[in-house]
Amino acid sequence: MLRESNSSLFRNSPRLPWRSLFVWSGIGVLFSSALVIVLAILGAWLGTQFIIQLDDQIQHWFYLHSESRLALLPVITFITAIGSFKISALAAVCAAAFFFIHRNSRYSIYGYVVLGSFAVMWLLNIGLKEIFRRSRPELEHLMVVHGYSFPSGHAMISMGFYGMFFVIWAIERQTKSTSIMLPIVCGVGFIGLIGISRIMLGVHYPTDVFAGFVAGLAWLVCMIGAIKRMI
């Protein structure tokens, strides 16, 4: 009886879930970084000319040309601003505060995962950009940007950070035996718009955005694994 009691206490120890979160976070960082490196290697193998042609073709579809700028520029600028550091930092703080206020173990996990996703996505993106140092597209940039181009920070933050909100929404719906299609569809649309906005503004190559999405998705998958083991 005593042995069972000790075993139960051990399983319910609060240190074990947080250890799991740290482990999965480390795996997420490695997985995200590895996939971006693999994509860079694949791009080098396919050849610079192939990647340039691919980027040019997609940019031709999405870049805001003169006839569409006046109508769409304010909307696209607003969409891309959602993925900026300041707005995403505000979203992270507000969401974490909302989760922590509930003083519920499951919501606390959500709060830490949201804050962690914000921090990791931005820091990892800075590190990866310093490694690859790809220049921005040689197009007229329709907004002021700084730094290197590959992978897109907005794409990473939209997938790896904002995507976490849709994951949490889906998990909560799943606990109530409700379909998760609504958060999936909304998430894909929201994340896709932020990524496309970067191409439309001429500040990122399509391959930058794709790599950012892949890195963010890798992190998201690992965090889903962590959450499912902790709640």
pLDDT in tens, 29-42: 999 999 999 999 99
Cis peptide bond prior to 151, omega within 30° of 0: yes
Q: Count the domains in the chain.
A: 1
Question: Does some domain include residue 177?
Answer: yes
pLDDT classification of 15: cutoffs 50, 70, 90: very low
Question: Does some domain include residue 1?
Answer: no
pLDDT in tens, 148-193: 999 999 999 999 999 999 999 999 998 888 889 999 999 999 999 9
Question: Does some domain include residue 10?
Answer: no
Q: What is the pLDDT of residue 186?
A: 95
- How far apart CA 86 and CA 90 sit, in angstroms, is 6
pLDDT for residue 85 is more than 80 = yes
Question: Does some domain include residue 45?
Answer: yes
Q: What is the pLDDT of residue 178?
A: 84
Mean pLDDT across the stretch 50-76? 83
Q: What is the pLDDT of residue 14?
A: 43
* Beta-carbon contacts of residue 156 (< 8 Å; ≥ 6 apart): 121, 122, 124, 125, 212, 213, 215, 216
Q: What is the pLDDT of residue 162?
A: 96
- Residue ranges of alpha helices (H) inside the chain are 2-11, 15-46, 48-62, 66-82, 85-101, 105-132, 153-157, 163-175, 181-200, 206-230
pLDDT classification of 1: cutoffs 50, 70, 90: very low
Q: pTM for this structure? A: 0.87
Question: Does some domain include residue 156?
Answer: yes
Q: What is the pLDDT of residue 12?
A: 42
Mean pLDDT across the stretch 84-105? 91
Domain that holds residue 54: 17-230
